[in-house]
Amino acid sequence: MRSYQEMTKEELQQEKKALEAEYKKFQNRGLQLDMSRGKPSQEQLDLSMGMMDVLGSGVDLTCDDGTDCRNYGVLDGIYEAKELIGDMIECNPANIIIYGNSSLNIMYDTISRSMTHGVMGNTPWCKLDSVKFLCPVPGYDRHFAITEYFGIEMIPVPMLSTGPDMELVEQLVSTDEAIKGIWCVPKYSNPQGITYSDETVRRFARLKPAAKDFRIYWDNAYCVHHLYDLDQDHLIEILAECKRAGNPDLVYKFCSTSKISFPGSGVSAIATSLNNLEDIRKQLKIQTIGHDKVNQLRHVRFFKNVHGITEHMRRHADSMRPKFEMILDTFERELGDLAVGSWYKPKGGYFITYETLEGCAKKVVARAKKAGVVMTPAGAPFPYGKDPKDSVIRISPSYPNMEELTLATQIFVVCVKLVSIEKMLDGVC
Amino acid sequence: MRSYQEMTKEELQQEKKALEAEYKKFQNRGLQLDMSRGKPSQEQLDLSMGMMDVLGSGVDLTCDDGTDCRNYGVLDGIYEAKELIGDMIECNPANIIIYGNSSLNIMYDTISRSMTHGVMGNTPWCKLDSVKFLCPVPGYDRHFAITEYFGIEMIPVPMLSTGPDMELVEQLVSTDEAIKGIWCVPKYSNPQGITYSDETVRRFARLKPAAKDFRIYWDNAYCVHHLYDLDQDHLIEILAECKRAGNPDLVYKFCSTSKISFPGSGVSAIATSLNNLEDIRKQLKIQTIGHDKVNQLRHVRFFKNVHGITEHMRRHADSMRPKFEMILDTFERELGDLAVGSWYKPKGGYFITYETLEGCAKKVVARAKKAGVVMTPAGAPFPYGKDPKDSVIRISPSYPNMEELTLATQIFVVCVKLVSIEKMLDGVC
């Protein structure tokens, strides 16, 4: 197939007519499809139903150390859960605090605490004139929502195929004391599916921030969310690398089982240096008596150990892989030659990002919506919802079943083609 | 029996000698007893084990409205849970947000949000020179820990048998704009077991605060924690009373199932006006995607409805009542005539407060500790841990079994007697 750029105006007009007819047909079906959020499918949720059976009225809810999980106590999580999560994210259990059901909530609390009480004895951010965060873009909208909520100025940093543009990160972080953090989804990033290269992680660990209270917010949300058993991305463990680099306190690492067991009913955790943990515990002991230990135990008893998680995630992959492959194959087949956009081919995570011609993303999303396909709003993966090129569209393959997803992908492709042609014909999109 | 005041010095010295011998005997037994925290006993926890069976891999985890509890979504709780909690605390489900496992965490978050973002459009507290809270004393140490952590000045207000001294509350609240809240445990109060009188609640609802962002922090922790089936305290429902009084936004009401199902693995909630809820939701949607709906459903399926909670709490009462009665009977028998202190007789809740002669509480607690009985530190029920009269001791009957508790009470009584006699003999305690 020839690219649209190579076609004549007449050919484009003809193509457009055919696409409009196709689009109309989809529209007339009154579809309701959703590719907007990274929600597991029912099939994936069913994989964890065994978790509802591991505890029962006849089961002893006591930890190895004698803790009765049913009662108050144990501020930072039962040891068994720390060990399980530690193995999952390659950290020492001693560096881990287990929280409630949401790693987003930990991140929020971390920022909130920094606002009111500062980081390890430094000035509370609410007392500073200016607080800034670096935001690799495209990134995760809920991260940006937290920093925006607290009035933190967000500075976009472009994502490269190796992770954030580290030259820019190094330059900004080393010169501006107002920069207090950077949001990272280092593995199978949201939304592009990029894993930070070894060099990127090493450069992160070697940052020399102007601000003593600068921290890397390392949201390792997709740490075990591979699509393939052997062909997996590898991410260097950042805590260990920071320790080796003489920067042990530089990073907060977050994770959860939201997309492993049940979203909203899993466990989440932070892993960080002992100094940071001490700082966090000062607040945590005021905030709560402890998180849900019964649910921690439920996870431990269900997965048993990290091998259990690996096997479990293999079954998740069996559900996700065909969806990713179908979308990527469709893109390749339908859009590969047209020169109307680009995408990465993630080996894991929850998202595929389609990058349209400049100025087309909003129109594609709007067109898709009118044909019954809900997408993440264009712009969402950027601070303040503003994509300067209006070209990034996040696609979430997980939730719909294959039939729905196939249909949604076909509709999406038609929308991309149509909007691209319109841009070419009009000169401006 | 005669009171110690009526005894001669010689008689007191003789009594002291006998008590010291008794104390020594207890000491030699090397006991380890704990009356320090309001933790349910194992017997009480066993009452909720059926909760581990109501969900299972064969059970549909879908709400009446079709929500799959296993997936993301539903920011403020499933309807069934709002209805259950609403019936429990006598509020409209529409006025309720269900949170995670800890009402303390909701209170912390409420204060934290007020610090960084203010209350319903008013100036964030972190921008103010002075923020103050009224603290009815004795009160709950963890409340005071939150306000202390945020640097909020705490003003003690004496508790009377009807609740806080409302004349003082009204006077302070109406004149000082820096006063932004008051901590209340209105039913079977922690630690005295006092329930606010009808007049007290009505006066609360009719407060005319100088600060527009003043709120009553109404921690209804012991709402269904009666000892008796018929002889129960009744508390006027504050939200309704505030609405009637034309003050609908005046109160945040908190509750949890921590001492109903499993502490740490229950559900908690806030109930407040729609205006306040709107204010809260603005933050909540940034902080989390939602709380643990599976656990909410577990509670709904286990208790079925508020009648289920009532029946369940009747069984809790069967466990708690003999403990309360044993302690109160022992106090009456052993200390009733001696004029060495006073106490209320709670009809519910988790605590009994013994008020010693002035200046004796710390010494009694220290003595008890040396005989193997851990009590809540004297002073804990006061802001900054400072009991001006050094006379309040909180007793938590729930956790030990009857045998342990009986022993601990006997030891406590001996300590009270000893320290009281010492005070009288020395002139100074």
Q: Does residue A272 sit at the B interface (CB-CB below 8 Å)?
A: no
Number of neighbours of residue B2 by Cβ within 10 angstroms: 10
Q: Hey, are the CB atoms on B101 and A56 less than 8 Å from each other? A: no
Helix orientation angle between B306-330 and B79-89, rounded to the nearest 10 degrees:
40
Residue that is written with structure tokens 């009452």 in the block: B47
Closest CA to A80 of A375, A313, A305, A316: A305
For chains A and B, CB pairs below 8 A equal: 162
Q: Does residue A292 sit at the B interface (CB-CB below 8 Å)?
A: yes
Q: Does residue A318 sit at the B interface (CB-CB below 8 Å)?
A: no
Distance from CA of A295 to the nearest CA of B (A): 7
**Tokens standing for residue B273:** 């006006």
pLDDT band, residue B325 (cuts 50/70/90): very high
CATH number of the domain located at residue range(s) B67-304 in this protein = 3.40.640.10
Q: Is the pLDDT score of A37 beyond 90?
A: no
Task: Judge contact between A426 and A10, C-beta under 8 A.
Answer: no
Residue B14: its pLDDT value, please?
96
Cβ-Cβ contacts under 8 Å, B117 against chain A: 149
pLDDT band, residue B2 (cuts 50/70/90): confident
Residue A428: its pLDDT value, please?
52
Q: Is A315 exposed, middle or buried (0-12, 13-18, 19+ CB in 10 A)?
A: middle
Residue from the list B115, B262, B290 with its beta carbon closest to the beta carbon of A264: B290
CATH 3.90.1150.10 domain position(s) in chain B: 4-44+310-426
ipTM: 0.96
* The overall pTM is greater than 0.95: yes
Q: Is the pLDDT score of B113 beyond 80?
A: yes
Distance from CA of B104 to the nearest CA of A (A): 6
Q: Does residue B34 sit at the A interface (CB-CB below 8 Å)?
A: no
Q: Does residue A175 sit at the B interface (CB-CB below 8 Å)?
A: no
Let me know the angle formed at the C-alpha of A354 by A349 and A359, rounded to the nearest 5 degrees.
145
**Cα–Cα distance for residue pair A309/A261, rounded to 1 Å:** 9
Q: Does residue A396 sit at the B interface (CB-CB below 8 Å)?
A: no
**Tokens standing for residue B217:** 């922090």
pLDDT band, residue B175 (cuts 50/70/90): very high
Closest CA to B398 of B138, B35, B48: B35
Q: Which residue of B has its CA nearest to A142?
A: B286
Distance of CA A295 to the CA centre of its chain: 23
Closest CA to A4 of A422, A429, A344: A422
β pairing state of B215-219 and B251-256: parallel
Q: Which residue of B has its CA nearest to A267?
A: B292
Task: Judge contact between A90 and A84, C-beta under 8 A.
Answer: no
Query: Options 3.30.390.30, 3.90.79.10, 1.10.10.10, 3.90.1150.10; which CATH number does B4-44+310-426 get?
Result: 3.90.1150.10
Mean pLDDT of B400-429: 92
Distance from CA of A62 to the nearest CA of B (A): 12
Residue A109: its pLDDT value, please?
98
**SS3 sequence of B135-195:** EEECCCHHHHHHHHHCCCEEEEEEEECCEECHHHHHHHHHHCCCEEEEEECCCCCCCCCCC
Buried b / exposed e along A259-284 (16+ C-beta atoms within 10 A) = bbbbbbbbbbbbbbbeebbebbeebb
Number of neighbours of residue B422 by Cβ within 10 angstroms: 17
Q: Which residue of A has its CA nearest to B150?
A: A116
Residue that is written with structure tokens 């084990």 in the block: B49
Q: Does residue A75 sit at the B interface (CB-CB below 8 Å)?
A: no
pLDDT band, residue B426 (cuts 50/70/90): confident
Distance from CA of A186 to the nearest CA of B (A): 21
What's the mean per-residue pLDDT of chain A?
97
**Tokens standing for residue A329:** 């194959």
Q: Does residue B123 sit at the A interface (CB-CB below 8 Å)?
A: no
* Per-residue pLDDT tens over the stretch A202-241: 999 999 999 999 999 999 999 999 999 999 999 999 999 9
Q: Does residue A184 sit at the B interface (CB-CB below 8 Å)?
A: no
**Cα–Cα distance for residue pair B106/B311, rounded to 1 Å:** 27
Q: Does residue A298 sit at the B interface (CB-CB below 8 Å)?
A: no
Q: Which of residues 231-250 of A touch B (CB under 8 A)?
A: none
3-class secondary structure, B284: helix
Residue B428: its pLDDT value, please?
52
Cβ-Cβ contacts under 8 Å, A283 against chain B: 149
Residue B1: its pLDDT value, please?
73
CATH 3.40.640.10 domain position(s) in chain A: 61-304
* Per-residue pLDDT tens over the stretch A349-396: 999 999 999 999 999 999 999 999 999 999 999 999 999 999 999 999
CATH number of the domain located at residue range(s) A61-304 in this protein = 3.40.640.10
Residue from the list B53, B263, B292 with its beta carbon closest to the beta carbon of A264: B292
Residue A81: its pLDDT value, please?
98
Cβ-Cβ contacts under 8 Å, B290 against chain A: 102, 264
* Per-residue pLDDT tens over the stretch A63-85: 999 999 999 999 999 999 999 99
Residue A2: its pLDDT value, please?
87
Helix orientation angle between A402-426 and A306-335, rounded to the nearest 10 degrees:
40
* Per-residue pLDDT tens over the stretch B255-289: 999 999 999 999 999 999 999 999 999 999 999 99
Q: Hey, are the CB atoms on B291 and A264 less than 8 Å from each other? A: yes
Q: Does residue B263 sit at the A interface (CB-CB below 8 Å)?
A: yes
CATH 3.40.640.10 domain position(s) in chain B: 67-304
Distance from CA of A130 to the nearest CA of B (A): 15
* Per-residue pLDDT tens over the stretch B91-104: 999 999 999 999 99
Q: Hey, are the CB atoms on B292 and A291 less than 8 Å from each other? A: no
Q: Is the pLDDT score of A429 beyond 90?
A: no
Cβ-Cβ contacts under 8 Å, A42 against chain B: 68
What's the mean per-residue pLDDT of chain B?
97
**Cα–Cα distance for residue pair A206/A166, rounded to 1 Å:** 11
